[in-house]
Amino acid sequence: MSYFTTGEFAKLCKVNKQTLFYYDQIGLLSPAIKKENGYRYYSIRQFEVFSVIELFKNMGMPLKDIQSFIQNKSPESFLQLMYEQKEEIAKKKAEIEMIESIIHTKIHVTEEALQLDFDALEFVHLSEDILYLSRNIEDATEEEFVIATSEFIHELYHSQL
């Protein structure tokens, strides 16, 4: 089996050597071989462990949780974690798509506004549209108005409108 020095393994993993030293220090990923002269060697098999660590980090998992998972890993727990993360990513993707839609709408409205001639008056027939109403806030205090508006925006957000 071939072994890599810390520098070679760091290049393979596209990290600096300090990252590998830190992972060893906290017990997350230790070299396969530690010689008396201080040299450390990693096996190619450890690259898969490193890639799983990086995947978890990219998913936002704290190193402490990754360490706990690595120490108690099983195919079942890995699969469960992957399903949970897949669900989280689907939620984030939906949120990003909604933000993208809002940005697209704001660009469109702004571009249209730039083309308006404010000196000309024109009547335009618009297609039917759905109107969403909030609760009555006509005689609301400023605080009640803020609360009602916030609740309404939250409701629209969750309805992805």
Tell me: the pLDDT tens digits for 91-147?
Answer: 999 999 999 999 999 999 999 999 988 888 788 888 888 877 777 778 888 888 888
| β-strand pairing of 33-34 with 3-5 | unpaired
* Position 159 confidence tier, pLDDT thresholds 50, 70, 90: confident
- Distance (Å, whole) CA 37 – CA 45: 23
Tell me: the pLDDT tens digits for 72-88?
Answer: 888 898 888 889 889 98
Q: CB atoms < 10 A from the CB of 99, how many?
A: 10
Q: Is 34:42 a contact under the CB 8 Å cutoff?
A: no
Above pLDDT 70, what percent of the chain? 100
Q: What are the CA-CA distances from residue 86 to residues 35, 69, 83, 90, 118 (Å)?
A: 41, 17, 5, 6, 49
Q: Which residues pair with 41 in a beta bridge?
A: 5, 33
Q: Residue 107 is encoded by which pair of tokens?
A: 């660009």
> Three-state secondary structure along 82-146?
HHHHHHHHHHHHHHHHHHHHHHHHHHHHHHHHHCCCCCCCCCCCCCCCCCCCCCCCCCCCHHHHH
Structural domains for the chain: 3-73 (1.10.1660.10), 125-161 (no CATH)
Q: Is 3:40 a contact under the CB 8 Å cutoff?
A: no
Above pLDDT 90, what percent of the chain? 50
Which H or E run includes 75?
helix 75-114
